[in-house]
Every structure is written in structure tokens, then in C-alpha cells.
Amino acid sequence: MSTPKIGVVSCSGECCVEGTISRIATRLVLEKLRPDNTVTICLPLFSIGEKGERMFAKNFPTIAVDGCEKRCAKNAIEKYSGKTACSLVVSDLLKKWGINNPSPRRELNEEGIEAALKVAEEIVVAMDEIFTR
């Protein structure tokens, strides 16, 4: 039996640190926390009509990881492929955890990396929940 996969799609928003955190958290899941179960998709590639990426999101569950409430990743997936299995918004999570101005956007500092790791753990919780549905 093949290993079940989930697509984790980050907005990677360039304008704010939450976009950097969404990106780093997604990479941490892909590289360290759930490497066998995770596939990631380039959001801009997905939107210019890359068939493979759109098909993946149609056939497999996806988790959108957005930096802000504009939810570009979630909206893109749902526009081009289908409903997301889960949607996480980094700014909401940081607010819930009481983390303000965690880091510069260009390069995460220690606090920013710690926040990214916490977001990555949230993604893993969401993945586990999807697998048990």
C-alpha cells in the first residue's frame, strides 16, 4: 500500500513575516516532521495552470497555510481544485499564542523560528486528524 499523502500549500506572502513563517513551517513539515506524508505545491505555479499541481489538489487532501486573513492559499486551492481539508492562518495562531512582532520577514530570528515550529506542529496535528477521518 502506498504512503498516504497530503498537500500542504503555503501562501509564502512576501509582504509580512507571517508569510515567511507560513513558508518555513511548511518546509519544516516537509523536511523534518512528516517527510513521507507531505507534498508541497508552489502556489504561483498552481495558479498559472500547472496541471500536475492542480490534479494533485483535486485528488488528495490539502492544508492551506496562510500568513494573513486574506487566505490566498486557501482561496487559490478552492478556486482551481476543490475544497481544502484544513485552513490555518498564521496571524490568528500568533495572536492566540500571544506572539507579537515575532521576527523580521527576511530572515527569521530565534523567536520567529520557534513560532514557525509551533505552526509546523499545528500542521502535523491537522494532518493526523485528516488521516483518522
Partner 1 sequence: MSDPVLIIPCSGIGKSFGTISREVTYYVVEVLKKDETDTLCLSLLVMGDKDAVRSVKSHRCIAVDGCPNECSKKNLEFFNAKVAANYRVVDILRENRNLKPSAVTFLDEDGRKLAGILAEKIALKVDELNHKGVVS
Cell 492544508 belongs to which residue?
A: 63
Q: How many residues interact with partner 1 (rule CB under 8 A)? A: 30
Q: Which is nearer to partner 1, 50 or 130 (CB)?
A: 50
- How many C-beta atoms lie closer than 10 Å to residue 3's C-beta? 6
| Subset of 55-114 contacting partner 1 (CB under 8 A) | 70, 72-73, 75-76, 79, 105-106
Q: Does 10 bind partner 1 (CB under 8 A)?
A: yes
User: CB of 22: closest distance to partner 1 in angstroms?
Assistant: 10
Q: Counting beta carbons within 10 angstroms of the beta carbon of residue 57, is it exposed (0 to 12), middle (13 to 18) or buried (19 or more)?
A: buried
Q: Does 12 bind partner 1 (CB under 8 A)?
A: yes
Binding site for partner 1 (CB under 8 A): 10-15, 19, 23-24, 26-28, 31, 40-45, 47-48, 50, 70, 72-73, 75-76, 79, 105-106
